[in-house]
Structure 1
Amino acid sequence: MGANEMGVCIGNEAVWTKEAIEERDALLGMDLVRLALERAHSAKAAVHIIADLLGQYGQGGSCKEDPEPFMYHNTFLLCDRLEAYVLESAGPYWAAERMTEGALNISNQLSIGTSIWQEHPQLRSHALAQGWWNGTEEFNFKVVYSLKTQPVRMEAAKARYRAGQELLQRQQGHITAETMMQILRNKESGICMDSGGFRTTSSMVSVLPRCPHLPCVHLLTATPDPSRSVFKPFMFGEGVTQVPWVLSPTFGDNDPLRQTPRFQTQVDRRHELYRHHQRALKMSEENEDTKLNLQAKQRKMEEENISLVNNLLDGLGTDAPDLSDLFLHCVEKELALYKEENN
């Protein structure tokens, strides 16, 4: 997931379909997200960029640092200040839906049915040739391209998708940044993962005002498990720079990615905030009072961050000051908290 200075936001999810996954190097879903954000001035443009890249380079490659490859195709949720889209793929084939109202979520499965805004030119002819569609019934992308027998992991994805829909529908018309944070922290639904070999690595909530004179604000945890993390505001500006405490270390030619064969060894890619965050959580588990005290400090820090964001959005005009260091200051403050807890 990510955002750019134009207010375009994109998230991607893994998906497995009837279309076979090729064991070859191509573009990962994360690569497609990065390239689209680098080039797109709008969500609509991002849809076209990803579609073009799928056709030109394809998608593939291992998405896990392990000798045994872990591969999948991708679905994307794309939005800007004015529009939102879902783009779902099966190999080079894709379909896109334009969102016109309400709220929408994606979760490791195809969700586009008959409301197709744009599609790969051979999407239907390919399905017809494969015997997945008879050519006379109404074309339903998720029905035609979804696996008839889903992997076990996909059953959990179905429940997570339905739970996400229900959580959003309960707040329909009243969805705020705080609402989204609570949904992302929901463990009962499986949206917030912390077991079973997978965990929510990082979380992002973006506030995209329709008024072009107000800044887009992206609230990021930069640490795993949003239920035990702090959302911190980031805004693009002329002076924005990378924050060293949330940059993963580099390993040059010794990186297992650069070795042949790949990923025969593992390295610690955790950045400094990540490491101190994990250490503080581990130490707090030893004592319930310590755990509750740390959680209270985290929530207080986040409330201050949200209050600052709300004040900025309520009163910020065209003569806005440079806020590019806001995320840096919030990270430094959180890092200081964990260092204090770890002493």
Structure 2
Amino acid sequence: MPAHSLVSSDRCSRGRGQGHRCRQRRPVQGRGRPAARLFLLSRGRPSAAISRGSVQPPPPFSPARASVAGTVRAASQSLPARGAGRRRPAAGARSDSGRRGAEPSPAAPRPSRLPPDVGALVPERPALAIGPRAAAAEEAPPGPSACPSSSLFARMAVAPPSYCLVAFPPHAKAGHVVFGKNSARPRDEVQEVVYIPAAVHEPRSKVECTYITIDQVQKTHAVILSKPAWLWGAEMGANEHGVCIANVAVIGKEAAPVTEALLGMDLVRLGLERGATAKEALDAIVSLLEEHGQGGNYYEDRNSCCSFHSAFLLVDREEAWLVETVGKLWAAEKLTEGVKCVCNRLSLTTKTDAEHPELRNHAASQGWWSGGGEFNFSEVFSQAEKPTDSCAGQGILEQQEGSITMEAMIKVLRDKGSGICVDSDSFLTTASMVSILPQSGNSPCVHFFTGTPDPSRSIFKPFIFADDVKPVPKAQSPLLGDEDPVKKVPRFQEKADRRHELYRAHERARSITEEEEEQGQKLMKIMLDLERQGLEAMEDVLSCREILDPDEIADLFYDCVDTEIKFYK
């Protein structure tokens, strides 16, 4: 059990078999109940009150209060009483099979565009590949193992402009490592937030990833993932040991394979499930990459065959690793200080702390490196003759030296002027994540997820690992099982409706914002005020060393999602 675990472990007699170890709930100590139920306004029905314009923002949160429950009660006074308490769903793992019915999914609204100064980062429309990239698509073997070769498939002119960021003390405040990710994906793609508990697997077990099946390990860690609902892997996530991983798609001189293998997103999830530190996750990812390779369509779209190389940012409480790949080859740099922004371009230069043993030989064999002098990874493998040194977020973080907090990172992710928050004809920031990793192992890591598109109009909701985390089906897409168009061959012949309840509620709220500006602004103000109180509450959790109430922590993300949906309705 991690050192920062919120509960104790002891024997019990609950009829679960001899030798079962059950988590026993400790009593709350210290300053009373923590801020875990700050968002818990779900004991009322706010929809009618909001429609009448009668709901007022909740009173400011004050750490000096004897109990945060007082704040919640005060905030709830304007809401009608609710009936009996909800029924608690059974705990258990998220299943990736058994998906229910499918119907066409409407495209997300396109309310705005990128400012002119960053328009070059994101294509207005997909572009057709020419030269080696088009040839690679045509030469790929047909069938389920590759994108079909009977048609000319569109490829994006650039990789989707996602951003990963990390800040170490003293750039980050309070001895915390601060991690953030904006996931740019096709505009109508739905992301879900899924918790998967730790598990022990039978010998010779297999795990079915997005396109291929690989060997399973004996034990996998508990993870929380933000993932495109159609695939197995994740754009970003964290595990119970305080490891965070995110990836971005990149393009190099060498065409990315279209043959189906592991996706970069699959490797994110596999790294989280198998690594208790950033370095362990790195070892797991590069080992799987070398064994199985990466490739396959990055999008749920039969009209395009877009395949990319991957870059990963792996972070724990002490260090980070930037890993950039070209096919099965890779190089990595260890980071322990300063700030780093990773985007859709190769950025490693002459400093690499680990690399594939054949990396330089391959570059020399292709005529990209002379074999003598300095080996500059991005200059050797990038398409551009002079690759850009850094991404937009790098300078923004460097300007905030000594003041980077969870609030500051969220503000960076909401910045449309810099292009970090993407909103173009082709791409939208479909989900975002921020994590606070205290370098002191006595404090829990706190992770925030939106689970909805456009962080400038979404709410960051907190999650803390604990035993018996409550499943959040309202933030999970419907299961379609063998009828899923992803699993049928040929793939993607239909577009399934993967919108979960949180996504639908947020979609309705976006419509209100666009059609009724005053009412939309009022709703957003209320939601942002709730988010602010949640951030302050989590700051209080991070700064105190008292034992937290496990029941509240286990329900935390569920309650936040439930409350957000009620306000949107």
TM-score by length of 2: 0.57
> Which range moves more in the overlay, 170-179 or 8-17?
170-179
- The question of 1:146 aligning with 2:375 is answered no
Name the counterpart of 2:227: none
Please state if 1:13 is matched with 2:248.
yes
* Percent identical residues: 49
Aligned counterpart, 1:96: 332
Deviations 1:223-280 (A, max 9, x none): 1100000001001101113201101111122211011210011011111101110111
Task: Determine the structure 2 residue equivalent to 1:247.
Answer: 476
The amino acid across from 2:535 in the alignment is I
2: distance between equivalents of 1:320 and 1:305? Answer: 16
Cα pair 2:244 2:272 within 8 Å, conserved: yes
Local SS of the residue matching 2:301: coil
**Stretches (4+) displaced over 3 A:** none
Tell me the distance in 2 between the aligned counterparts of 1:70 and 1:242.
Answer: 33
- Counterpart of 1:321? 549
* Matches of 1:162 and 1:15, distance apart in 2: 13
Q: Which residue of 2 aligns with 1:224?
A: 453
| Unaligned segments of structure 1, at least 5 residues | none
Q: Does 1:331 align with 2:561?
A: yes
Question: Equivalent residues in 2 for 1:39-58 (5 A)?
Answer: 39-58=274-293
Which entry has the higher C-alpha Rg, 1 or 2? 2
Matches of 2:509 and 2:528, distance apart in 1: 15
User: 1:234 maps to which residue?
Assistant: 463
Q: Report the secondary structure of 1:257's partner residue.
A: coil
Aligned twin of 1:177: 406
- Which one of the candidate residues 316, 322, 326 is aligned to 1:80? 316
Cα pair distance change 1:89/1:99, threshold 3 Å? same
Q: Contact 2:331–2:352 (CA<8 Å) still a contact in 1? A: yes
Helix, strand or coil at the partner of 2:429: coil
Tell me by how many angstroms 1:149 deviates: 6.6
What CA deviation, in whole Å up to 9, does each residue of 1:34-76 have, x standing for no partner? 0010010000111111110110000011111111211101000
Match of 1:59 in 2: 294
CA distance in 2, matches of 1:163, 1:105: 8
Q: Distance in 2 between matches of 1:37 and 1:162?
A: 25
Higher helix share: 1
CA distance in 2 between counterparts of 1:288 and 1:22 reads 46
- The amino acid across from 1:177 in the alignment is M
Query: 1:302-321, aligned counterparts within 5 Å?
Result: 302-317=531-546, 319-321=547-549
Question: Which segment is superposed worse, 61-70 or 29-38?
Answer: 61-70
Alignment of 1:149-298 (within 5 A): 161-298=390-527
- SS at the partner of 1:313? helix
Give the C-alpha shift of residue 293 in structure 1.
0.6
Deviation at 1:307? 1.3
Distance 1:11 1:214 in 2: 23
- Aligned mates of 1:235, 1:320 — CA distance in 2: 11
DSSP 3-state at the match of 2:459: coil
Structure 2 equivalent of residue 111 of structure 1: 347
Root-mean-square deviation (Å): 1.5
> Partner letter of residue 9 of structure 1?
C
Deviation at 1:324, TM superposition (A): 1.7
Offset of residue 321 of structure 1: 2.0
SS in 2 for 1:200: strand
Q: Give aligned pairs, total.
A: 331
Does the CA-based 8 Å contact 2:343-2:391 persist in structure 1?
Answer: no
Picking from 22, 26, 29, the partner of 2:257 is 22
TM-score (structure 1 length as normaliser) = 0.94
